[in-house]
A and B are shown apart, each in its own frame.
Chain A
Amino acid sequence: MNTLRFFTFAAPSRFYALAGKLVPWCWAAAALLAAAGLYLGFAVAPTDATQGEVYRIIFLHVPAAWMSMVLYLAMAFWAAIGWAFNARTATVLAQSIAPTGAMFTVLALWTGALWGKPTWGTYWVWDARLTSEFILLLLYLGYMALVAAIDDPRRADRAGALLAIVGAVNVPIIYFSVKWWNTLHQGASVSLTASPKMAATMLNAMLLMSLACWAYAFAVVFMRTRAALLERERDTAWVGSIAGRST
C-alpha cells in the first residue's frame, strides 16, 4: 500500500501539487538552519589556532562541495529511473537538479580558491581533488548542454541519462582523491567511520549549514521541476486547468 502511494506521486500532476506544498516549508527550514549555522559559525566558534579567522570559509565551502557531489548522484539516479521506467517526472527532476548542482560546484571551487590563497599561497593548483571537482562542473555543464541541444525530448532524456550515469564514476574519484593521490588539498575532516578532527562548535556549524544547503536545494529544485512540468505538459488538461486556459 505504501509503495503504491509512493508511485502515485510519479504522475506529473500529483508531483506538481506535492512540490508546491513542500516549497514554503523548505524555504523556512533553509532560512532557520542558515541563521543558526551562521550564528554558531561566526559568533560562537572560536578562532582557529593555525589558520586564524579565514577558516570560517569552511562553513560554506564544505557544504557546497558535499552538495555538488550528492546532487550529481541524485541527478544520475533520477535520470536512470526516468530512462529505465520511462518516467517523465523522474527525468524532469534530474534535469532540474543539474543547474543547482552546477551552482554548488562553482561555489565550492570559488570558495576553495579564496581559502587556498591565504592558506596555501595560491588560488589554484591542478591537484587531484581540485581537478576532479572541476571535471564535475564540466559534467554538469555537458549534461545541461546535451539535453538542451537535442530537439526531441525523449532522445534528449536518454542521451542525458547516459552521460549522467557514466559521469557518476567521477564522484567517488573526487571523494577518495585525497586518499589515492598525494594532494595539496587536506584529507577529510569528517568521516562516517572515524571521529571528527575538528571542534564540536565548528562541526555543528558546518552540519547546520549543510542542512540549510539541503533545504535550499530541495526548494529551488522543486520550483524548477514545477516550471519544467508546466512547459513539458503544456498540452495536457491538468496544466490547462491550473493555468486557467480557456480552450
Chain B
Amino acid sequence: VNDTYHVIAIGPWFYILASYAAGVVLMLLEVWRVRARQRQAMAQAAEPLDDEQRWDT
C-alpha cells in the first residue's frame, strides 16, 4: 500500500484541524502578549518621572 494513500485514508481532518488550531493558538497568543505589553506600558507611563527623565523632557 502506498504510504501517501495510507496517510490520506487515516483522515485528512487531522491535518486540517492541526492547521487551523495552530492558527487560532498563534493569534490568541499574539493578542494576549500585545495586551499584556499595552497594560505594562500604560502602568509604566503612569509612574512619576525621576529627575533624569524630567530633565530629558
Task: Name A residues whose Cβ lies closer than 8 Å to a Cβ of B.
Answer: 52-54, 56-57, 60-61, 64, 99-100, 103, 106-107, 110-111, 114-115, 117-121, 216, 220, 223-224, 226-228, 230-231, 234-237, 239-240, 242-247
Closest to B49 in A: A235
In the bound complex, do residue B46 and residue A245 qualify as a contact, i.e. CB atoms below 8 Å apart? Answer: yes
Cβ-defined partner of A223 (8 Å) among B15, B35, B42, B46: B35
| Interface of B: prevailing SS | helix
Interfacial chain A residues near B13, Cβ < 8 Å: 53
Closest Cβ neighbor of B13 among chain A residues: A53
Known: A99-B30, A118-B7, A223-B31; 8 extra A-B contacts, CB below 8 A, are: A110-B19, A220-B27, A220-B31, A220-B34, A226-B38, A235-B57, A237-B57, A245-B45
B26's contact among A103, A117, A224, A228, by CB below 8 Å, is which?
A103
CB distance from A92 to the nearest CB of B (A): 12
Given the complex of chains A and B, what is the CA–CA distance between A65 and B30 in angstroms? 17
Write the residues of chain B forming the contact surface with A, with a CB cutoff of 8 angstroms: 3-4, 7-8, 12-13, 15-16, 18-20, 22-23, 26-27, 30-31, 34-35, 37-38, 40-42, 44-49, 53-54, 56-57
Complex CA distance for A118 and B11, rounded to whole angstroms: 9
Query: Contacts of B30 on A, CB cut-off 8 Å?
Result: 99-100, 103, 220
Alpha-carbon distance between A224 and B32 when the two chains are bound, in angstroms: 11
Contact yes or no, A52 B15, CB < 8 A: no
CB neighbours (8 Å) of A64 from chain B are 23
Question: Would you call A234 and B44 a contact (CB within 8 A)?
Answer: yes
What are 13 residue pairs bridging A and B, where the CB atoms are less than 8 Å apart in the complex?
A52-B12, A57-B16, A64-B23, A100-B30, A103-B30, A106-B26, A107-B26, A111-B22, A120-B4, A121-B7, A224-B37, A231-B44, A243-B45
Q: Which of B15, B40, B48 has the most CB of A within 10 A?
A: B15
Contact B56–A235 (Cβ < 8 Å) = yes
Contact B19 A243 (CB under 8 A): no
B46 CB, nearest partner CB in chain A, Å: 4
Do A118 and B8 touch (CB < 8 A)? yes
Shortest distance in angstroms between A73's beta carbon and chain B's nearest beta carbon?
A: 20
- Determine which residue in A52, A224, A228, A246 has the highest number of CB atoms from chain B within 10 A of its CB, and name it: A224
Residue contact A119 to B4, C-beta cutoff 8 Å:
yes
Task: List the B side residues contacting A61 at CB < 8 Å.
Answer: 19
Task: Write the nearest CB–CB distance from A231 to chain B, whole angstroms.
Answer: 5
Partner of A53, one of B7, B16, B20: B16
Known: A52-B8, A235-B56. A240 touches B45 (CB 8 A): yes
A111-B23 contact given A117-B15, A237-B57, CB 8 Å threshold? yes
